[in-house]
Structure 1
Amino acid sequence: MRRNTPIVLLSVGHACVDIYQGSVAALVPFFIAERSYSLAVASGIVLAASLLSSVAQPLFGLLTDRWAMPWLLPASTLLGGLGIALSGLSGSYPLTLVFVALSGIGVAAYHPESARVARIAGRGSHRAMGWFATGGTVGFALAPLMVAAVMSVGGLRWTPLLVLPALVGAALCLPVVRVLQERQAAAGSRTAPPAGSDDVASFVRLSVAVVFRSIAFIVLSTFISLYVRQRLGGGMAVGTAALFVLYLGSTVGSVLGGSLAARWDRVAVARWSYLVTAAAVAGVVWVPGPAVFLFLALTSAGLYVPFSLQVTLGQDYLPSRVGTASGITLGLTVSIGGLASPAIGALADTTSLQTALAPLVAMPLLSWLIFRTLPEPPVPGPRSGAAEEADEAVVRAAKPG
């Protein structure tokens, strides 16, 4: 296995998992169309995926801080796919919530361990973590296209087809798992915390900033398809295009964030990104006509420039608890944005969707204010030559033949 192969495989595997995070929002218009759900009821499906995921991610983070569990990567990928695959088969709303929640648990189990593994595979590189995050955003971008394609075949009863990316993602994880298990056998199953002191206060402030970012992105993911259809007219294709632009812009933002962090410090990059994003969200809500697509792309790119940077910032603020930091910054605070969706849906039912989306303009501004108080943590030193040589020896030993 070549030096960069693990991070490439992890990035593609991340895309396969995050297809299921994106699929939840992409399925909402079809649940409304086929089952006549109100906006508030339909957004409860997003809440179901977010709620258990939000609770489970820190727990999985604590476990991965104590034990290396690379086997979680393929297992959780399969669980995430299975839940979405089953979600359209039953007309029962409670059963739909159970299946979507099952997918959320799979996503929750994946992210803390995968972020820890990606940091090892990328040797602490911001660019490598940026590519890993980009994999997830590619999955988000593909989700509405895959869901629309499957729904066009036969509606919700064809959701079992959506399990296919999980099968691919699990298969791609296996070579990386094998190499890491070789390393784990050589070093012992218990993960050793790296040297460094924790800055808990900064980590808490960072987490609050990511929550505000999450509310903006998840609420937009839930309602942007319906909103753009209302503003521009048209059918499902217009709404799917809006969701695709939202997710595609996030891919650009993830790549850009890693590149910018190689030149300037992460806190400054995130701070300026949030300030620009606030103006872009205002454009999405109030600028009329097709320009909404431009502002939508700017919004998603701006929200995702800080995404991978926040993961590495959290890991550097809590160097002794990297799994927990990853579970919170990459998982909990991302999923928790779904908790706001039912409230926004209820407000939209009683007023209008434009009025309900207006408070989202404040979310990146609040993140910007918090980032003004955050320090740039010291970057951990490079690994010793002996440690690098030991890892390379394990990789060579794991090669077939």
Structure 2
Amino acid sequence: MLAAGHAAVDLYQGAVPALVPFLVLERGYGYVAVSGVVLAATLLSSVVQPLFGLLTDRWRMPWLIPVSMVVAGAGVAAGGVAGSYVLTCLAVALSGLGVAAYHPESARLARIASAGSHVRMSWFSLGGTLGFAAAPVLVTPLLAAWGLGASPLLAVPAVAGALVTLPAVRALTGGGGGTRREGARAVRGRDDWRSFTRLTLVIVFRSVVYVGLSTFVALYVGGGAAGAVALFVLFAGGAAGTVLGGRLAARWGRVRTMRLAYAAAVPAVAGVVLAPGPAVYVFVAASSIALYVPFSLHVTLGQDLLPNRVGTAGGVTLGLAVSVGGLTSPLVGAVAEASSLRVALACLVVFPVLAWLLARTLEEPVGA
């Protein structure tokens, strides 16, 4: 149930890039303008994510999970029918706020439900990845048939996801909500902020390349049906990588798996830029798999590095560090307008290199 809810809320992160070709077609937005919409969806989310993490470490807030899902859906639904560029940005920013509010508390409950298992946590993360993958499949046919005016229908998955998630929330919290979290830090180990900071930078580097690909790959392959296929391949490859990551971590450990994944991401992202014709889809899939193998591992590793601040760790690893990549999308758009999309995407290759180098400085937490 938690995985299904995660799919519903993360669908709206994937919906914003899926809106991009329609904003270009129907409203004439340029590369910088549409990357600004992506920025709006991630900026507010990035700023408030630590706050929600701190709040959920201090207070039990299970009610925040269904409410945030509805807010995320309402923002995207309004973004397609907003009457101006400013209102569009404000609407998708509201959606980003909902996504930000969802992740810290849901990550805490997922940790309880998974009993610390890397494989089980990967299934929770898989839900979010499938939500990303479902976005172009849902958004593109709907808007291709009826235009941006049909975007209010995109609120339906949020309401459905909230209804599905409620029984799981009640089961894991005993129906409680809003009560102070007493003695939560008494029996846990020491928080390793230095290692957690390095892990956060790894996730930021991953986020830059992944958000850059998700924002521009549809336009890079020509938009329309080809663009929808590219986005689906990107997001679906992430689903495969998420499941694979949990299994590899159970065998090799999280940090080793992370290092191998980022090493593999370097040639995969380079292949997106260099591959001719339909071969680009193979490298889009390979890039997504490599970038998503460590995705759920970031969450459990971050929570083990900050055992006294599980909500904060979940908010940062599932939310803040992931959404920060959207802050760089206007720069990628500016490079694309100044030169070409090929050059802009080529600039992304450096970031998996940086993630790999920094991941080599991390170690498994003692006793994890």
2:135 alignment partner AA: A
Task: Describe how 1:40-189 pairs up with structure 2 within 5 A.
Answer: 40-182=32-174, 184=176, 189=180
Corresponding residue number in structure 1 for 2:193: 200
Task: Describe how 1:194-273 pairs up with structure 2 within 5 A.
Answer: 194-229=187-222, 236-273=224-261
- Deviation of 1:183 after TM superposition, in Å, equals 6.8
- Between 1:171-180 and 1:25-34, the stretch displaced more is 171-180
- For the aligned residue pairs, the C-alpha RMSD in angstroms reads 1.3
TM-score by length of 2: 0.97
| 3-state SS, counterpart of residue 262 of structure 1 | helix
- Deviation of 1:177 after TM superposition, in Å, equals 2.0
Q: For structure 1, list consecutive stretches of 5 or more residues without a partner in the other structure.
A: 1-8, 230-234, 381-401
Residue 189 to residue 180, structure 1, CA distance change in 2 (3 Å): farther
Residue 168 to residue 106, structure 1, CA distance change in 2 (3 Å): same
Corresponding residue number in structure 2 for 1:16: 8
Q: Is contact 1:48–1:101 with CA below 8 Å preserved after alignment?
A: yes
- Deviation of 1:289 after TM superposition, in Å, equals 1.4
TM-score by length of 1: 0.89
Query: How far, CA to CA, are the matches of 1:210 and 1:172 in structure 2?
Result: 29
Q: Is contact 2:4–2:165 with CA below 8 Å preserved after alignment?
A: no
| 3-state SS, counterpart of residue 263 of structure 1 | helix
Query: How far, CA to CA, are the matches of 1:260 and 1:180 in structure 2?
Result: 28
Corresponding residue number in structure 2 for 1:385: none
The higher radius of gyration belongs to: 1
Q: Is contact 2:170–2:176 with CA below 8 Å preserved after alignment?
A: no
2:235 alignment partner AA: Y
Is residue 306 of structure 2 the alignment partner of residue 336 of structure 1?
A: no
Corresponding residue number in structure 1 for 2:181: 190
Corresponding residue number in structure 2 for 1:280: 268
Query: How far, CA to CA, are the matches of 1:107 and 1:181 in structure 2?
Result: 21
Corresponding residue number in structure 2 for 1:30: 22
Query: How far, CA to CA, are the matches of 1:129 and 1:216 in structure 2?
Result: 23
| 3-state SS, counterpart of residue 357 of structure 1 | helix
Task: Describe how 1:376-391 pairs up with structure 2 within 5 A.
Answer: 376-380=364-368
Alignment coverage as a number of residue pairs: 366
| 3-state SS, counterpart of residue 198 of structure 1 | coil
Residue 148 to residue 183, structure 1, CA distance change in 2 (3 Å): closer
| 3-state SS, counterpart of residue 252 of structure 2 | coil
- Between 1:194-203 and 1:114-123, the stretch displaced more is 194-203
Query: How far, CA to CA, are the matches of 1:244 and 1:181 in structure 2?
Result: 35
- Deviation of 1:90 after TM superposition, in Å, equals 2.1
- Between 1:371-380 and 1:137-146, the stretch displaced more is 371-380
Q: Is contact 2:69–2:161 with CA below 8 Å preserved after alignment?
A: yes
Query: How far, CA to CA, are the matches of 1:143 and 1:173 in structure 2?
Result: 19
Is residue 358 of structure 2 the alignment partner of residue 370 of structure 1?
A: yes
Q: For structure 2, list consecutive stretches of 5 or more residues without a partner in the other structure.
A: none
Query: How far, CA to CA, are the matches of 2:175 and 2:25 in structure 1?
Result: 50
Q: Is contact 2:169–2:175 with CA below 8 Å preserved after alignment?
A: no
Q: Is contact 1:70–1:180 with CA below 8 Å preserved after alignment?
A: no
